[in-house]
């Protein structure tokens, strides 16, 4: 369609065309994705082959010293003036072999059935006032087996990579020596603050990331395929896709399937409404404050920033108290007839949901206001000037200049807000705790309620109550990840500011 044709359409038809184009764009994206697969596979193949090629070259053309490196990492470096590197390589190999013999192999051997000997548990009366306590002796612990297996696999991966590096380095060292360039230890220390500075800077952050985020996330994904409950601490088994199948098979009205889709629908509805109410109200407040001729700008802004400054758990717990059975606001609602009898504000599903969205604007508007204020001041004044000369009304200027400009710049922010709201744990957990309940606690998947998001449901399943279903919660966590990833892929792929990262610099 040409521009002229497009412009000759009525507003409503243009809207339809735009909607159509949006979906066509998604379709095209998918087609391009699949078209690109053969090429990507070829590139991947070359990437896989090149390390083997390097190894082959090193074996064929390397001296006996380089070849020794295949068995003894760092040997060639040690014998050719690179003491520090050589020692580090060799030390890693020794530690790795020691780890594999003492811990890695025994745990990997048990990975198949996650241990077979149950632990003996016995209660005994404690001397201290705490009463009886549980003593667990011997036996296999599936939790530990799984965790050590993951750590072992990661270490094996690191070992293979470092082993490859040691051989490649040895070969290039040999080549350098051949042409008379001796790279000594001092070069290594110079590189680490210059051309290899990233290794120095990122070493600690990455170790932290792997230990406290990557390993837990891998553990979580894998636990989704077991029947680990979180309470039976000793033995559990692989169950394949049973946890996932549970969400989609039990289709009667009180089954897991029904709750899952109810909670999912509310989560998406909540994320959509919460994101847009915050965004538009925040923008309106920002426009009001930045309006010409309004005085005390700093005061109005400071009042709103107070909400950010006071720790969230304080303000949310306080509002929770105000909305409890005998709270101030509950009494007010009772006088208005919104609540009957001794109910609290969170016993009514609709009221509960509306309240959460209202309180969320209370929490979120100050952030949006700050962000919008900064951007609003950057909109070129001459745009408004020319619009005013053309006789545009303030509303027209808002829809034709302010809004498109804001949406263009804050696109990625809106997406991250949307994702943040899908996972908005604090506001639900501290305000309503998911109330009113669906009355499904007997299923053993937590006391899930009308205002629960997927994230708070996961928390209830895995952390609260006596009979936990940690593995099912993990499976649900993976489903949440998939939902978020799909949204991100659709929107991020279309956003230019992400694609053209280098353009900013």
Partner 1 sequence: MAKVQVSKRFMDKSQRVLAYVILSVISIIWLFPFFYLILQSFADIQNPLYNTKSIIPNIWTFNNYKALFTDSRVPFIRWWLNTLIIAFFTALLQTILVLMTSYALSRLRFKGRQGLMKLILILGMFPGFLGMLVIYYILELLGLNTSIYSLILVYTASSAMSYYVAKGFFDTIPKSLDEAVMIDGGTKNTVFWRIIIPLSKPIIIYTILVSFTGPWGDFMFGKYIIQTAQIQPTGYTVAVGLQGLTTMATNELYGAFCAGAVLVSIPITALFFWLQRYYVEGIAGGAVKG
> Quick check: 135 and 93 in contact, CB under 8 A?
no
Residue 278: how many CB atoms within 10 A of its CB?
A: 24
What is the closest distance, in whole angstroms, from the C-beta atom of residue 314 to partner 1 in the complex? 4
Site string for partner 1, 313-332 (x = CB under 8 A): xxx-xxxxxx---x-x--x-
Pairing of strands 120-125, 132-137: antiparallel
Task: Give the gyration radius of the chain's Cα atoms.
Answer: 31
Burial class (CB in 10 A: 0-12, 13-18, 19+), 45: exposed
133: β partners: 124
What 3-state DSSP class applies to 437?
Answer: strand
The answer to the question of residue 158 lying near partner 1 (CB under 8 A) is no
> Interface with partner 1 by CB under 8 A: which range of 119-127, 310-318, 343-351, 397-405?
310-318
What is the closest distance, in whole angstroms, from the C-beta atom of residue 258 to partner 1 in the complex? 22
Q: What are φ and ψ of residue 456, in 5° steps?
A: -75, -30
DSSP output for 62-127:
S-HHHHHTTTSTTHHHHHTT-HHHHHHHHHHHHHHHHHIIIIIHHHHHTTTTT--PPPEEEEEE-S
- Member of 41, 416, 439, 499 binding partner 1 (CB under 8 A): 416
- Member of 263, 283, 323, 371 binding partner 1 (CB under 8 A): 371
Within 25-84, the residues that bind partner 1 by CB under 8 A are none
Alpha-carbon distance of 126 to 108, in angstroms, equals 37
136: β partners: 121
What is the closest distance, in whole angstroms, from the C-beta atom of residue 316 to partner 1 in the complex? 9
Alpha-carbon distance of 257 to 399, in angstroms, equals 43
> Interface with partner 1 by CB under 8 A: which range of 75-83, 94-102, 171-179, 492-500?
492-500
The answer to the question of residue 472 lying near partner 1 (CB under 8 A) is no
Q: What are φ and ψ of residue 319, in 5° steps?
A: -65, -35
The answer to the question of residue 113 lying near partner 1 (CB under 8 A) is no
Nearer to partner 1, 275 or 373 (CB): 373
Residue with tokens 């170790």: 207
What is the closest distance, in whole angstroms, from the C-beta atom of residue 143 to partner 1 in the complex? 7
Burial class (CB in 10 A: 0-12, 13-18, 19+), 255: middle
DSSP output for 211-276:
IIIIHHHHHHHHHTTB---SS--S---B-TTHHHHHHHH--STTSHHHHHHHHHHHHHHHHHHHHH
> Interface with partner 1 by CB under 8 A: which range of 75-83, 109-117, 341-349, 367-375?
367-375
Within 160-179, the residues that bind partner 1 by CB under 8 A are none
Total chain residues near partner 1 (CB under 8 A): 94
The answer to the question of residue 493 lying near partner 1 (CB under 8 A) is no
Within 131-150, the residues that bind partner 1 by CB under 8 A are 143-144, 147
The answer to the question of residue 470 lying near partner 1 (CB under 8 A) is yes
> Interface with partner 1 by CB under 8 A: which range of 91-99, 105-113, 167-175, 304-312?
304-312
The answer to the question of residue 195 lying near partner 1 (CB under 8 A) is yes
> Quick check: 363 and 307 in contact, CB under 8 A?
yes
What is the closest distance, in whole angstroms, from the C-beta atom of residue 370 to partner 1 in the complex? 5
The answer to the question of residue 190 lying near partner 1 (CB under 8 A) is yes
Interior CA angle at 414 toward 402 and 355, to 5°? 100
- Member of 118, 288, 400, 489 binding partner 1 (CB under 8 A): 288
The answer to the question of residue 157 lying near partner 1 (CB under 8 A) is no
Nearer to partner 1, 78 or 475 (CB): 475
Within 335-364, the residues that bind partner 1 by CB under 8 A are 362
Nearer to partner 1, 78 or 263 (CB): 263
The answer to the question of residue 496 lying near partner 1 (CB under 8 A) is no
> Interface with partner 1 by CB under 8 A: which range of 172-180, 257-265, 301-309, 349-357?
301-309
- Member of 83, 214, 268, 441 binding partner 1 (CB under 8 A): 214
Within 373-392, the residues that bind partner 1 by CB under 8 A are 373-375
The answer to the question of residue 212 lying near partner 1 (CB under 8 A) is yes
Nearer to partner 1, 235 or 319 (CB): 319
The answer to the question of residue 434 lying near partner 1 (CB under 8 A) is no
Listed residue (467, 445, 433, 269) closest to 344, CA to CA = 433
What 3-state DSSP class applies to 436?
Answer: coil
Interior CA angle at 431 toward 256 and 224, to 5°? 35
What is the closest distance, in whole angstroms, from the C-beta atom of residue 89 to partner 1 in the complex? 19
Alpha-carbon distance of 51 to 46, in angstroms, equals 9
Nearer to partner 1, 24 or 196 (CB): 196
The answer to the question of residue 455 lying near partner 1 (CB under 8 A) is yes
């Amino acid at each position: 369609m040409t521009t002229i044709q497009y412009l000759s359409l009525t507003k409503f038809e243009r809207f339809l065309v735009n909607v159509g184009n949006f979906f066509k764009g998604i379709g095209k994206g998918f087609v391009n994705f699949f078209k690109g697969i053969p090429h990507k596979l070829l590139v991947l193949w070359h990437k896989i082959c090149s390390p083997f090629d390097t190894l082959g070259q090193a074996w064929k053309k390397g001296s006996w010293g380089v070849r020794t490196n295949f068995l003894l990492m760092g040997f060639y470096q040690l014998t050719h003036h690179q003491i520090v590197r050589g020692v580090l390589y060799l030390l890693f190999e020794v530690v790795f072999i020691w780890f594999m013999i003492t811990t890695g192999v025994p745990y990997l051997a048990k990975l198949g059935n996650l241990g077979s000997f149950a632990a003996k548990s016995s209660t005994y009366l404690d001397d201290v006032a705490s009463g009886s306590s549980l003593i667990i002796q011997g036996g296999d612990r599936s939790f530990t087996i799984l965790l050590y297996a993951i750590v072992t696999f990661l270490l094996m991966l690191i070992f293979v990579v470092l082993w490859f590096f040691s051989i490649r380095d040895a070969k290039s060292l040999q080549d350098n020596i051949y042409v008379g360039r001796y790279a000594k230890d001092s070069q290594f220390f110079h590189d680490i603050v210059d051309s290899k500075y990233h290794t120095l800077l990122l070493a600690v952050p990455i170790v932290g990331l792997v230990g406290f985020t990557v390993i837990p996330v891998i553990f979580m994904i894998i636990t989704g395929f077991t029947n680990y409950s979180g309470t039976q601490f000793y033995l559990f088994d692989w169950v394949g896709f049973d946890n996932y199948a549970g969400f989609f098979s039990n289709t009667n009205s009180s089954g897991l399937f029904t709750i899952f889709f109810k909670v999912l629908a509310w989560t998406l509805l909540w994320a959509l409404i919460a994101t847009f109410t915050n965004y538009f109200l925040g923008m309106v407040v920002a426009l009001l404050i930045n309006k010409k001729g309004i005085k005390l700008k700093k005061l109005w802004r400071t009042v709103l920033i107070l909400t950010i400054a006071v720790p969230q758990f304080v303000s949310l717990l306080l509002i929770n108290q105000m909305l409890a059975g005998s709270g101030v606001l509950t009494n007010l609602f009772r006088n208005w007839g919104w609540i009957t009898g001794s109910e609290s504000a969170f016993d009514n599903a609709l009221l509960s949901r509306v309240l959460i969205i209202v309180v969320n604007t209370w929490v979120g508007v100050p952030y949006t206001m700050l962000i919008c204020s900064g951007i609003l001041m950057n909109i070129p004044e001459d745009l408004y000037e020319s619009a005013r000369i053309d006789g545009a009304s303030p509303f027209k200027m808002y829809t034709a200049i302010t809004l498109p400009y804001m949406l263009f710049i804050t696109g990625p922010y809106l997406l991250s807000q949307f994702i943040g709201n899908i996972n908005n744990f604090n506001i639900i957990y501290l305000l309503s705790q998911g109330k009113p309940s669906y009355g499904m606690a007997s299923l053993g998947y937590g006391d899930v309620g009308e205002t629960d998001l997927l994230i708070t449901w996961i928390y209830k399943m895995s952390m609260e109550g006596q009979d936990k279903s940690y593995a099912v919660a993990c499976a649900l966590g993976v489903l949440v990840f998939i939902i978020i990833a799909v949204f991100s892929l659709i929107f991020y792929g279309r956003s230019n500011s992400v694609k053209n990262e280098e353009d900013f610099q």
